[in-house]
Structure 1
Amino acid sequence: MKNLSCGAATMALIFPMILGVPVAAAQEAPSEDRAGEDKDAKARSVDTVGINDIIVTADRRSTRLQETPLAITAFDDAVVERARIQSVSDLVPRIPGFSISSVGRSRLNPALRGGSSALSAPGSDQAVALFVDEIYYGSSGDFDLDLFDIERVEVLRGPQGTLNGRNSTGGSISIVTKDPTADLEGAVEVALGNYDLVQARGYVSRALNDSETLLGSIAFTTSDRSGTSYNRYLDRDIDTLGRTSIRGKLKMLMSEDTSFLLAGDYRSVDETGEARKFIGGSPDANGYVSDPDPRVTDQFSNGGYRSKSWGVSGKFEHNFDMGQLVSISAFRKARSTEQPGDQLGQGPLIFGYAEPRKLDQFTQEVRFASDFDGPLDFVGGVFFLYQNEERDISWYWQHDPGTLAGVYQAFFFCQPDQGDPGDFANYDAVVPSCLANRPELFEPGTANWFQHSNVYSYAAFLQATYELTPEITLTAGGRYTIDKKSVEGYVSGDLNFALNAFENPGFRGTAGGFGVDKKSKRWTAFTPRFTIDWKPTDDLMFYATVARGYRSGAFQIEADPAVPALEPEFVWNYEAGFKSRFLDNRVQLNVTAFNAQYSNLQFQFTDESGNSSVSNAGKARVRGVETELTVSPVPGLSLGANYAYQKGRVTNIPEATGIPNGINTAQTPKHSLNLTGLYEAGLANGGVVTFSADWQYKSEYSLELNEDPAFFSRTPGLLNGSIAYETPNGDWQFTLWGKNLTNKNVVIYGNDLRFFSYSFGEAFNPFDPRFDPAKAGSKIVRYAEPRTYGVTARLSF
């Protein structure tokens, strides 16, 4: 902690010198003349009234957000900095209907409009696609990236099957970082907060030669924080933070019409595992009693997560008289290691896993965007993706003979004559001879489920817009995709693991487990989009869209080598809405209504044995309305309200899953409400004080396609806020900030692992005298971060 704290502070002090900025000059009081120049250049006016425009590139062209006929939520760099949006999870409070569940650091599952990304196997696609500087980030572990040096964030709601680099069914998130500039600019900041937070962030950009044809920039972020929960069993903190990211860019202006941007990034993470809180009655087997504090847990291991990743990309642009040619090549490499993290949170009762991954990925996109004088324009191109990914799940357990899991152990390995495992009334104890003859069944054991996947994806896309009249525009496009995926793997480890025997009868008695020979499959899809928009005035646009989304098939073989490939998921989205500004640019109201019709919905669920499985459902329907309101009534004041109503229904679910038909789609809160407020006040000395707050509410929803209460979450009212002071010349800013100020315990993942804690009579049989409803309703949950607060000092130059 001390080493990183000193390093962060040192980096913050020397960073302005990286590209030749003299720190002493930045810190000295400027002369009277210079102070006036700085004030004119940097000071912000807070006397204007109105709503600023945001330029987006969702259609691969630069257009005003209010003139783009898509359901988009966008934030500029000022909002990102003020709201401390430093991760994808920080976007949740500001996007209607958006939610994220998080099994662990290597698996974040975002969801939009019923499209949920719970699949975790290598090679599986996300329902919500992620792009950083137009580069596709395809693994479930990619959503745990650091956001820094941000120019803009664009969140497209609904399926994106035409232009956006890779198909998605729920939506896509596009992170745009800052490109180098010729003028010297930059900033560096240091933050201190509770839980011993020390953070340093910064960027600097300038021309690297006199002719200003070579531009460079470098940005970094480094954070260190103690754990936000306490592991009473080990007397240590858990859920620590320790990560550093850096990004560099070189832009070569080869001619007036040609440029090449070379970018590279590196990221390192070294943190504990996640805190998991056991909630339920005291088990008879070990008499464990949970601490009532939600931030105090008892885990046999804190686990551990380490990862290193880096990437390099090249973007070539050339402007012709008739349009622009763009080529983007990118390679990414990621490696993570994990120590098994406890899933039960009951101290000596042991069941844990780790999920290390390896990823190598190459993408190539070439596209051309026309710039004709007439009513017709188009964007077209090709896309290629290669992905090589591995996952090696490590299980670690010790079954207690007084639990149902211990009885399963005995049934499969030493007392099969006792009866059918489904006949629970006669199967609630381990016979003494089994304990005497096979003690290793109740000692610690390990197993590995390894899976290796290769993905080849090819796509061609074309989208055209035609102005039927000056007010009416028609957009039509499509994407044809070919996906080929292959998989191989194995299961190995100790034989005394009932899940192996239960799910894979061939595993019993077979030393070394089983192997899965290489499997492969090919899928194709055509995903069109049709949009018509009408602009009766400059401040009002109506639009209607029909679009198809696609998520390709996948393999998940660790539970059973005979499981067939998961088939592709498709969605037809029917959408209509309007975007408007009125009252002299003081009110902005955007409303969208949608009807998403899914087929072959891909989902991951937890079966009655606690094992994670995947399947396709027949159909799903999600209907909803999204409303975004922004009001700027007086100078310096901006108010916002985003509301989303969603209602999902899944039918034709395979009977073997045990999930009833008519259930709501996963991660689909019926009501989501986000309120924001900003007030800037100018002071007599020329400085500016800014008050900012946002509040989030989400009604109850399930994190998986499951009716078990262990998988339910809600956000009852989460408040973030900040107070900032900016000096008259705009050089310095000091901010007091807080997140989750109401200290709500928001569940971001849950498990129902009763069978590892209780006997059948305690938690499953209501006719047994030992039955306890508190035990029957037990769960293990992972919470989002508690209340955090701190101060930040920022120097801009």
Structure 2
Amino acid sequence: MVASFKPNKLSLLITSSLLLAQSNAFADETSRESIDTIIVTGEKIERSLKDTITSVAVVDKSLLENGQLGSVSEALAEMANVVVLTGAVPDMRGVSGNGGATGFNSFSGGSKARVSTLVDGVSQPFVADLTGDTGLWDIDQIAVYRGPQSTSNGRNSIGGAVYMTTKAPTQDFEGAVRVGYRNQDSYLDTAAVVSGALIEDVLAFRLSTQYVNGETFSNPTIHETNPTDKNLNQLNTSSTRAKLLYIPTTDLAVQLTYSTYSEEGNTGRKYFEGDEPFDYVPLFQRDMDTKSDTTQVNIDYKINDNFSFDILLAYMDYDWGFEAYEALASAESDISMDEKNITIDSKLNFGLNSDFYSGFVGIAYFDREQDFKSVGATNYFGDDSSDSKAIYGETSFELTNELTLTAGLRVEREEQLRNFDMAFGGSRLVEQLDNSNTIKLPTVAVQYKVTDNTTLSASARRGYNAGGGALDFAAQEYYYYEQESVNTYEVGSRSVLNNGDLNISANIFYNNFNGYQALSSSRKITNIDDAHSYGLELEAYSMLDEQWQLHAGLGLLKTKIDESATYSDAVGNELNSAPELTASLGLSHWFTDSLKLNVSANYVDDYYGDLTNTEERVAGGYTITRATISYNSDHWLVSAFINNALDEEAFTSVEPASGRYPTGYVAVVNPQTLGASVTYRF
């Protein structure tokens, strides 16, 4: 049933203690809490992890606080059935998170990623290369929803969604400052936050800021034929977020948020020359620049005991681009993408006081305007106007004390008009993509409460991603590809045993893909008629006694391409980035209430890097270990950590030698890093 409205709902949404239900450690003070106390909000409604039907993993709060994780990608890399590739949104259950949106296709056709990232309910843009995910200060929760989330989020979520929630203003005055360091040249992480009431119980604020300056592990090359004074290995990130929460009555809460983010330097895809990959000599060098400014308003209003209303309004100004560095200045290109978008999401919640039914119905609108260009060795420009309109809803019926039926539907209209103009082959290529479609995205689920401690579920839902267009360099022509969809079926189990000291979550899934958008061996996007995948996600933790905690995760996955008229070489093969086994195991020990040691290991099995299952492109097969020791008191959090403790050297992607790349190239797991951070709270 939908949770009742509270006067400070916006803050209560994200103040529940968190755990990583899959791997790593638990926050000191919340280690003994069970999954029925952990609230996630990524499906338009507050649910405890015990009541979720979707396979959800939540990042441990202590890892967000101690500085051990430097980016969102690092936070997701150890989750079951998730593979994080360089410069890419995460691949989930063998579904490429980037989809057709990788590299140049993002410009020529405006292709969309398959996995959406939302911060406080606002979708974050993805352009060609993943940037802008560095820095996790003042983040309260990162929840990963595996499998299609199209009914909840619509576009860009056929593979899953990453839902991030930032901390809210508090009525009590509080603050913190942090200084962190890693054994990377010049690396320094400084952050601060302050929060409290301006007018008691009526007006509260929160102001946070973070600045990360340092060098990456690349070993850049300075060309004598084109000298530069830029530090090609530098990465600078700064972010500031301000929130104002106004509660004029017990029935109304209004929150205004402004956030600004800037990231510049050596980020995005990092490929290294294949002859000596662990010399970390980059294949290409770019100074990338990402900036975003977001203004957001959240309104929550309690109409009466049975109904409440909430609305999200957001405006984002987003700039992305890079300056290439080559041996010859004439071979360089400068690329930029400027985007402005509007998000409106309004929802009526009903049945708040009912023991039989509850749910919501809402409308959503998204509008995006883009302008892009490339000047230098490659010249093109264009613009894009895209929008989506949706009506969505979900209702749950408590048929008996044990049995609950939930049904939902999203009807969405998507439209895209994209103009692309490029100097190509001695002439100009002028193309227009005019695409529109109306889709229906249903979901249905049943939950059965076997006992007070165990709940079983079964569900079916549909996912969707729009079609588009792209430029085929080999054929020197513009082409189009169709939409893709998936029908997903899952059964799940959630158990809280031994007074909350033993928690087990499991999901078994089957995906049937139609029109799967695949990148062929000629790097052309084509639709695969039929493909399927099935597997398991199992996550558990157990308090062994008052001082010891065991935590583990397991992902099993099988994939197969069944039929493809346009890509026959792939029929019978596995999907790429689809390891059959991912697993994690960790142990935490409390020496005292304040002093904790955590060690963990994560294994990712071998996987293919392409749909033709080329042996030379096999990657994976690595184990990454972590260790952390931390002291956490009322005012101080002091942590020392080591990532990749055994200094594993392994590849996350491999491209064999070719005429264009005589040594081939690879992407690698992050090398061993040691670090420490000191946080003072007041």
Q: Is the 8 A contact 2:606 2:621 kept in 1?
A: yes
| Deviations 1:534-588 (CA, angstroms, capped at 9, x unpaired) | 0122210000001111111222236467534321110000111211122332211
- The one of 217, 242, 245 aligned to 1:251: 245
Q: Distance in 2 between matches of 1:703 and 1:538?
A: 45
Question: What's the offset of the Cα at 1:350?
Answer: 11
For structure 2, the 5+ residue unaligned runs are 1-26, 225-229
Match of 1:592 in 2: 507
C-alpha separation between the residues in 2 aligned to 1:525 and 1:663?
29
Rounded to whole Å, the distance in 2 between the matches of 1:99 and 1:694 is: 18
1:165 touches 1:383 (CA, 8 Å); kept in 2?
no
Look up the match of 1:6: none
Superposed, 1:25-424 pairs within 5 Å as 51=34, 53-75=37-59, 77-82=61-66, 84-102=68-86, 104=87, 108-116=88-96, 117-120=98-101, 121-122=106-107, 123-140=110-127, 144-146=132-134, 147-164=136-153, 166=155, 168-196=157-185, 197-209=187-199, 211-232=200-221, 234=223, 238-272=232-266, 275-280=270-275, 292=276, 294-297=278-281, 302-321=285-304, 322-340=306-324, 355-370=335-350, 371-392=352-373
What corresponds to 1:456 in structure 2?
Answer: 387
**What is the Cα deviation at residue 83 of structure 1?**
7.1
Cα deviations across residues 245-277 of structure 1 (Å, max 9, x unaligned)?
111111111211111111111111221366532
| Residue 669 (structure 2) pairs with residue 738 (structure 1) | no
C-alpha deviation, 1:330, in angstroms = 0.8
Does the 8 Å contact 1:312/1:331 carry over to 2?
Answer: yes
Deviations 1:138-190 (A, max 9, x none): 42456632432111121111111222354522111110111101101222110
The answer to whether the 8 Å contact 2:393/2:408 transfers is yes
Which of the numbers 532, 535, 552 marks the counterpart of 1:641?
A: 552
**What are the Cα deviations for residues 4-52 of structure 1, in whole angstroms up to 9, with x where unaligned?**
xxxxxxxxxxxxxxxxxxxxxxxxxxxxxxxxxxxxxxxx987995646
Give the C-alpha shift of residue 620 in structure 1.
Answer: 1.1
1:700 to 2:606 alignment: yes
**Please, what is the CA RMSD of the aligned residues?**
2.7
- Higher helix proportion: 1
CA 1:491/1:248 → structure 2, altered by over 3 Å: closer, same or farther? same
> What corresponds to 2:227 in structure 1?
none
Go from structure 1 to structure 2 and tell me whether the alpha carbon gap of 1:230 and 1:177 turns closer, same or farther (over 3 Å shift).
same
Contact 1:115/1:128 (CA < 8 Å) preserved in 2?
Answer: no
Question: Aligned residues, how many?
Answer: 636
Shift of 1:315: 0.7
| TM-score, with length taken from structure 1 | 0.75
Q: Deviations over 1:490-533 (max 9, x none)?
A: 222xxxxxxx5xxxxxx3xx3xx323243302112111001000
Please give the per-residue CA displacement for 1:670-724, whole angstroms capped at 9, x wherever unaligned: 1101223222221xxxx62111222111111134434335543215111122111
**What is the identity, as a one-letter code, of the residue corresponding to 1:597?**
N
Asked if the contact 1:475/1:532 (under 8 Å) is kept, the reply is yes
Counterpart position of 1:764: none
Q: Which amino acid aligns with 1:268?
A: S
1:581–1:529 CA distance, 2 compared to 1 (3 A): same
CA contact (8 A) 1:88 1:145 kept: yes
- C-alpha distance 485-746 of structure 1, shift in aligned 2 (>3 A): farther
Question: Do structure 1's residue 579 and structure 2's residue 504 form an aligned pair?
Answer: no
**In the aligned structure 1, how far is the partner of 2:277 from the partner of 2:47?**
50
1:80 shift after superposition: 2.5
> What whole-Å deviation, never above 9, does each CA across 1:323-351 have from its counterpart, x for those lacking one?
22111011111112312256xxxx79998
In structure 1, the residue matched to 2:3 is none
Does structure 2 retain, via aligned residues, the 8 Å contact 1:214–1:251? yes
| AA of the residue aligned to 1:251 | L
Return the letter of the residue paired with 1:328: L
Alignment CA distance shift 1:748-1:304 (3 Å): farther
Counterpart CA distance in 2 for 1:376 and 1:663 is 45
Alignment map for 1:542-553 (pairs within 5 Å) = 542-553=456-467
Among 511, 522, 531, the alignment partner of 1:620 is: 531
Q: 1:448 to 1:458 in 2, by over 3 A?
A: same
Distance in 1 (CA, whole Å) between partners of 2:317 and 2:657 is 35
- Corresponding letter in the other structure for 2:675: G
Q: Cα offset for 1:238? A: 4.8
The Cα of 1:232 is off from its aligned counterpart by 5.0
Matching of residues 696-775 of structure 1 within 5 Å: 696-709=602-615, 711-727=617-633, 730-752=634-656, 754-757=658-661
Question: Cα offset for 1:732?
Answer: 1.3
**Change in CA separation of 1:562 and 1:622 when aligned onto 2, cut-off 3 Å:** same
Seen in structure 2, the aligned counterparts of structure 1 residues 663 and 691 have a Cα distance that, compared at 3 Å, is: same
CA contact (8 A) 2:66 2:677 kept: no
Task: Give the structure with the larger strand fraction.
Answer: 2
SS in 2 for 1:470: coil
Residue in structure 1 matching 2:416, options 485, 496, 515:
485
Residues 1:472 and 2:403 are matched in the alignment:
yes
Does the Cα contact within 8 Å between 1:46 and 1:636 map onto a contact in 2? no
Change (3 A) 1:320 1:83: same
1:700 and 1:47 map into 2 onto residues whose CA distance is 35
Q: Is the 8 A contact 1:230 1:296 kept in 2?
A: yes
SS in 2 for 1:629: strand
1:206 is displaced (CA, Å) by 0.5
Task: Find out whether 1:788 has 2:677 as its counterpart.
Answer: no
Query: Aligned-pair distance for 1:644?
Result: 0.5
Residue type of the alignment partner of 1:132: V
2-side partners of 1:352 and 1:703: how far apart? 28
Question: Alpha carbons of 1:581 and 1:47: their partners in 2 closer, same or farther (altered >3 Å)?
Answer: closer
User: How far apart, in 1, do the equivalents of 2:31 and 2:556 lie?
Assistant: 34
Residue identity matched to 2:120: D
8 A contact 1:550–1:568 mirrored in 2: yes
Identity over the aligned pairs, expressed in percent? Answer: 20
Aligned to 1:515: 429
Q: Which residue of 1 aligns with 2:579?
A: 669
Aligned to 2:10: none
Q: 1:757 to 1:58 in 2, by over 3 A?
A: closer
Q: Which one-letter code corresponds to 1:783 in the other structure?
A: V
- Give the equivalent residue in structure 2 for 1:4: none
1:423 — aligned with what?
none
2: CA distance between counterparts of 1:692 and 1:646?
28
For residue 688 of structure 1, the aligned residue among 583, 594, 615 is 594
Using structure 2 for the length normalisation, give the TM-score.
0.87
Structure 2 CA distance for partners of 1:783 and 1:46, relative to 1, 3 Å: closer
What is the distance in 1 between the residues matched to 2:379 and 2:509?
43
For the Cα contact (< 8 Å) 2:489–2:511, is it kept in 1?
Answer: yes
Paired letter, 2:379: N
> Is 1:86–1:148's contact at 8 Å kept on the other side of the alignment?
no
| Residue type at the aligned position of 1:359 | E
CA distance in 2: counterparts of 1:143 and 1:297, whole angstroms = 20
- Post-superposition offset of 1:82: 4.3
Q: Which moved more, 1:309-318 or 1:268-277?
A: 268-277
1:556 and 2:540 are equivalent in the alignment: no
Highest CA radius of gyration, 1 or 2? 1
Structure 1 pair 566–298 and aligned structure 2 pair: CA distance change class (3 A):
closer
Q: Which amino acid aligns with 2:595?
A: V
CA distance in 1, matches of 2:562, 2:292: 40
Query: Aligned letter for 2:486?
Result: V
